[in-house]
Every structure is written in C-alpha cells, then in structure tokens.
Structure 1
Amino acid sequence: MLEAVLFDLDDTLVDQETASRAAVVEWAAGLGVDGGEVAGRWARVSERHYARYQRREIGFGEQRRERVREFLGIALSDAEADGLFAGYLERYEAGWALFDDAVPALRRVRAAGLTVAVFTNGEQGQQRRKLERLGLLPEVDLMVASSTLPAGKPDPRAFRHAVERVGVDASRALMVGDSLHKDVLGARAAGLMAVLLDRADSHAGVEVPRITSLDDLTLSST
C-alpha cells in the first residue's frame, strides 16, 4: 500500500530550466559573452560539475567555481569565481517560479492521506529558500536534500536514506520526477515505485510509468 509520494523539485515542481536560461543569458551578456549557444553551453557545464558534486568529488562551492571557470574559459581565484557566480545566482533566484500543476498535485496527494515529501538533488539551504519563497513549505510534510546524504540521486543509497527520513518502507513510496536516469531508474533500483514526469513528451518509447503533467498524476500511475 502506498504511504508516501516523493517529488523532485527542480523541473518537476519548479521551472528551473527557464529560470536558469534567462539568468545565464542576461548574466553572460553583461560579461560580453553572447550567442545562441550560451544557455545550452552553461547547462552542459553545470551538469558536468554538479554531477561531480553529487559523487562527492568536489564541494558545493567548488562546483559553482568550476562552472564559472569552464564557461568563461579563464583562470580565476576562488574569490573572483564566487563574485562572478553571485551575479548569475541573483538573476537565477529572481526567476524562480512554480509550474501551474505543482500545488494542486501536492494537495491531491495530501488529501489522499499520504505523506508529501520533496526529494531534491539541490543544496539544502538554497532549496529550502526556494520552498519558502514560492509558498511550498505549507504544502509538504518534509524536504530531503541530497546535500545532507552520503550520495545524490541516482545512487540507490540516496533513495534509501530519503525513505528512511520520510519514515516509510521503500516499497510503499512513489518517486515523481522529470529525470529518467536520476529520479525514475534510481528510485526503482532502490525499491521505490516511480513515475516519470515527461513535460516535453520526449520519452514516449520508454517503458516506465509516464505522465506529461502533474495533473495526470494518480495513485494508480504506477
């Protein structure tokens, strides 16, 4: 019997991609970097170094510095890189916004008597600020950030620690997220049920439970 639903945060409940794209285009233009590939290049650089952080190869602050150094292609001291990243971060945080289907989905799950959790690969402090600013704190029972765990998604250890904090057995928890690899396959490897939120409808051939909107999430989606 299902007892808890764990929602990913970025690009599941919050439109992180749009916020990041707009922020980096404006930030980079101010540094004299422009062109159609700016947002895509930043996304690729960010993914690479954030994955290193999730594997605990580097710290949270260092992955930010490495993103700036690689993106700009110049040598920077830690202080210089931190200062430059702050310009991006200010713009990024200003762009945080919920998807329209986020709060209704959380409320439906809670109304069904289930525990509502957010399980994010983000850093705990930043992700809590995100929940606060967007009014999500009253809608969830708890948040688990992988920055407080020995590993991040998709490592099965991360999911096992998360359900332990939620207080349910893995077999009675459902993970909902936008990443096939990090959210769905990682969760299933740890014994959770999982649903892929495929907003772009780009994984039609994948044989996993899949929805294109949180409006379509039902407790029988698994």
Structure 2
Amino acid sequence: MEAHNNTTIERLKNATWYFFDLDDTLHEFRKASSAAVDATLHLILEYHAHHKLSSCKPLTVAELRAEYLKILKTGTSAAFVDGKSSHEYRAERFQGVMNAFGIDCTEQQMQVLLDTYETAIMQNLQLKEGAIPLLQTLKQQGKSIAIITEGPQDSQERTVAALGLEPYFDRLVTTNKLGVAKIDGLFGKALEMIGVKSEEVVMVGDSWDRDVVPAVEAGITCVWLAEKDEGGERMVALGGEEKRVMVVDSLVRLQSIVLESSY
C-alpha cells in the first residue's frame, strides 16, 4: 500500500521552488531520440549503399545503431559540460559512426543528417501524461519552477519551447551552461545561482543516480518518478543518515499528492 511520510508531505506543501528534470521526466525523450536516430541512420545507410563497392559486405541499420549507441555512451558520460552546441555533439556522433564503417560524408550531407535528426526529434516530442496539469497546479499554489537538466543548452531551450513548457518555468539550468554534471555538483550551483535554500526546494526526476541521489546530497527533498514502481517511499543512505525519497509512478499521481497536501 502506498504511504507517504508526513514530513515529506509538509516539504511539498512548504516548498517555494520545484526543480524538474526534463528528459524522461516531463517528456518522452527516449522515444523521440530513438525515432530521430533511426531516421538519421537510414540516411547514413543510403550514403553507404551509394558509395560501396560491389565486393563490400552489406551493412545493416542494426550494425549502425550498435556503433551509435557505443559512441553515445562514451560521449554523454561527461554530461555535456564542455559547452558545445547540440549540432556539434550530434555531428561528432554521426561522423564517428561513419568513420567506423569507412563511409565518406560531405559537409552538405552532414548538414542533411543534422536537419533530419532535428526534424524527427521535434516531430516526435511528447509530454508525459499529467505534465501540464501538474505544472499549472504548482503555479496556482505560487510555486516557482526550474528545469535542472543535463544536455546542450540550445537543444533543451528548443525542446522546452516546442513542448509548450515555457509559461510554467522561471529558470532553465543545464549542465552545458554551468559546466558541471548533476553528479558533480550541479544542484548546489543551481541553488546558489537561483538564490534559494535547499530546504525550500523539491526535486522531481526519473533517474535515481543522476537526479535523486545528487539532489539529496545537496539537501533537497526528492520525488522519484519511477513509472514501473508502485509508489511509496525509498531511503537514501547519506553520511550515516537515511533520507526519505517519495516515489510516484506518474506525474498524475504527483499532482494528486500536491493537491492533497494543500488542504
């Protein structure tokens, strides 16, 4: 049975700021990026088919995807803290895939790849169920709201605008802009930049390791969005102490808790 500690409920009620992760918390990022990657890899396959010799072994999208995922894992481990634009990061990944298979690509063809990816990801953006009603409820309660996210500043700004989230947010804080990853102190820097104390903030995110744990370490009350979980609470061990983390399986459920806490 789902149960929440009264102290956690009080924190939700008394918080002046709510911090939200963006990707896979407020919108279905994995689905959108997967569609964009597939569209781009099919184009790379066409480049290969156009230039390959008859003796070359046929290449598959699955092989390209496996190489892309390997490059993506390496490239995103630094959490986009080096200040490049989204197009620069993407170009590096696509070029890496093509280099692995000896595929030539002109500047013009690379631009087509980048345009294809951008168009596909924008067409496939989809808000999580309950995102807007939750944000509306928080604003009606007088809360200030910030997005605290890893990723390139430019692409996150475009995503926020395309999803219609701009009216609900007071600040957008990215690892790309501040040059520090979530696990390396982004939450502390965000608190300092905004000028708010940790005890006045609630953080909502889908990643235990990159949202919940580092936010708790910064003294912030956390709500973990775990869609396959039944809800309730989890504990984070921190410096010999255990801190409570609220668990919800949807933003719809979080909105109902926020409404209940206001009575």
User: TM class, shorter-chain normalised?
Assistant: 0.7 to 0.9
Q: Which residue of 1 aligns with 2:250?
A: 213
Unaligned 5+ segments in structure 1 are none
Percent sequence identity over aligned pairs: 28
How far apart, in 2, do the equivalents of 1:37 and 1:204 lie? 41
Residues 43 and 94 of structure 1: CA distance in aligned 2, closer, same or farther (over 3 Å): farther
Deviates more, 1:109-118 or 1:24-33: 24-33
How far has the Cα of 1:82 moved from its partner? Answer: 5.8
TM-score between both structures, scaled by the size of structure 1: 0.82
Question: What SS does the aligned partner of 2:145 have?
Answer: strand
Whether 1:179 and 2:212 are equivalent positions in the alignment is no
Whether 1:121 and 2:147 are equivalent positions in the alignment is no
Question: What SS does the aligned partner of 1:128 have?
Answer: helix
> In angstroms, what is the RMSD of aligned CA positions?
3.1
Deviates more, 1:125-134 or 1:176-185: 125-134
Number of residue-to-residue matches in the alignment: 218
Give the partner amino acid of 2:75: H
Q: Which residue of 2 aligns with 1:9?
A: 22
How far apart, in 2, do the equivalents of 1:35 and 1:205 lie? 42
Question: What SS does the aligned partner of 2:182 have?
Answer: coil
Question: What SS does the aligned partner of 1:117 have?
Answer: strand
Whether 1:50 and 2:76 are equivalent positions in the alignment is yes
Unaligned 5+ segments in structure 2 are 1-13, 46-58, 236-244
How far has the Cα of 1:43 moved from its partner? Answer: 4.5
Q: Which residue of 2 aligns with 1:108?
A: 137
Residues 20 and 98 of structure 1: CA distance in aligned 2, closer, same or farther (over 3 Å): same
Question: What SS does the aligned partner of 1:151 have?
Answer: coil
Question: What SS does the aligned partner of 1:54 have?
Answer: coil
How far has the Cα of 1:87 moved from its partner? Answer: 2.7
Give the partner amino acid of 1:209: M
How far apart, in 1, do the equivalents of 2:105 and 2:65 lie? 24
Aligned with 2:217 (options 183, 189, 207): 189
Question: What SS does the aligned partner of 1:98 have?
Answer: coil
Return the index of the structure with the highest Cα Rg: 2
How far has the Cα of 1:30 moved from its partner? Answer: 2.8
The CA deviation string for residues 116-170 of structure 1, in whole angstroms up to 9 with x for no partner, is 11111122222122222221111222222221103021222x1112122333111
Residues 26 and 62 of structure 1: CA distance in aligned 2, closer, same or farther (over 3 Å): closer
